[in-house]
Amino acid sequence: MAAEFITPTFCSAACQTEVEKALQKKKDRERIDLVKKKNKIKKLLMRKQLSESDIPSEAKEDKILLKHYDSMPADQLSEAALLKISEDLVENEKYPWMCGKNGFSWMRYLDICKAKAAPVKLFKNPFPYTRNGFKVGMRLEAIDPQHPSLFCVVSVAEVQGYRIRLHFDDFPDVYDYWVNADSVDIFPPGWCEKNGRSLKPPGKMSSSSFTWPLYLKQLRAVAAPRNLFPHITAAVFKPHCFRVGMKLEAEDRKNDLVCVASIADVLDNRMLINFDSWDEMYDFWVDPTSPYIHPVGWAEENGIPLTPPNFYKDPDTFSWENYLAETGASPAPSRAFKPRPPQGFKPGMKLEVVDKRVPFLIRVATIML
């Protein structure tokens, strides 16, 4: 009966004592669990501290963290704080090459993976010391990476460190692409006109009506100054025997083929290679030391099938002698080919590469072949 209850909650003194004991046990368990969590965090911090003894700045940060949590009573650490600390430490346990504020650590990653970094000497100008002088809005000329035979009007859309994002004027942003500030594929305004190259103007403008002075005036834009293009101002030209129209054999690396090809353009120390009868989007630039171009007859000498031009009248009986006579072309002389030795990259080496699908990202990568 309600009248028999000694309080609104308990029916007797014995009942009240039992409930209080149960509540006390629950509090004791929670306190013990809290202490265990704190001890686990301390152990993780100590383990992390010991594993980073070779990185003074990081070890110092961890010592401060360890001292802070070690001196803090367990009941002062809230559940939320413990959860956050635990999540951070579990994340570091899962990705042990991450180091707090500094983010990714190459030293730690290479140590954990037992891997070697690709030597700096294998990279041309690996850490540029010159300042990136390009500014957003500057106009210039550039080779279209998707159509290497085209020179287009572009503008600087973004600057990140030593990299710049280029935008084709009057075209959607989806065609934007990134290059280093010292790229050999960019040129100051007026370069095409001075060097006999056809410049593709913006949007629907015709080549005959386009002029740089008028275009810059209309947009109130600034031309990228010539001194920002070191490959033009400080270039050292090395004579070679390649000429436009010469025939050779070239490797299609995407399809693992050796094909009949021609030299479509020559620009200082490099040539534009075109696979005969293929669309220009497959063209590519190389220098005379490229291991992917070969003299006429190379495939036959090495027992490798040669892919003739598309729709060739009798591909099974293709011969260079007949093809050269039919096209009135000359073969590139054998002495012109000077393939460079392997550059020293080896499978398993680690390096940083631009993600071609998301080109504003630079990712950790491994050399596979």
240 inside domain: no
Per-residue pLDDT tens over the stretch 164-179 = 999 999 999 999 999 9
Tell me the residue range of the domain where 67 lies.
10-113
Please state whether the predicted TM-score (pTM) of the whole model is above 0.95.
Answer: no
- Give CA–CA dist 286/265, Å, rounded: 11
Please say if the pLDDT value at position 75 is more than 50. Answer: no
Q: Which of 342, 318, 320 is nearest to 329 (CA)?
A: 320
Choose the weakest-confidence range: 20-24, 187-191, 290-294.
20-24
H-run or E-run covering 275: strand 270-275
Per-residue model confidence (pLDDT) at position 50: 52
Tell whether 14 and 104 lie within a shared domain.
yes
121 inside domain: no
212 inside domain: yes
Cα atoms in the 13 Å half-sphere on the side-chain side of 17: 3
Interval 81-97 mean pLDDT: 59
Side chain identity at 20, as an amino acid letter?
E
Per-residue pLDDT tens over the stretch 298-316 = 999 999 999 999 988 888 8
125 inside domain: no
Which of the listed residues 113, 147, 174 is the one where a domain comes to its end? 113
The first and second tokens of residue 161, run together, are 């460190």
Cα atoms in the 13 Å half-sphere on the side-chain side of 367: 15
If one counts the domains in the chain, the total is 3
170 inside domain: yes
Tell whether 15 and 105 lie within a shared domain.
yes
Of residues 37 and 96, more confidence is placed in: 96
Per-residue model confidence (pLDDT) at position 118: 92
Report the CATH number that the domain containing residue 229 is assigned in CATH. Answer: 2.30.30.140
SS3 68: helix
Per-residue model confidence (pLDDT) at position 235: 61
Tell whether 18 and 53 lie within a shared domain.
yes
Tell whether 55 and 95 lie within a shared domain.
yes
57 inside domain: yes
Please say if the pLDDT value at position 257 is more than 90. Answer: yes
Please say if the pLDDT value at position 71 is more than 60. Answer: no
Long-range contacts of the stretch 297-302 (C-beta < 8 A, 24+): 297/249, 298/249, 298/258, 299/249, 299/258
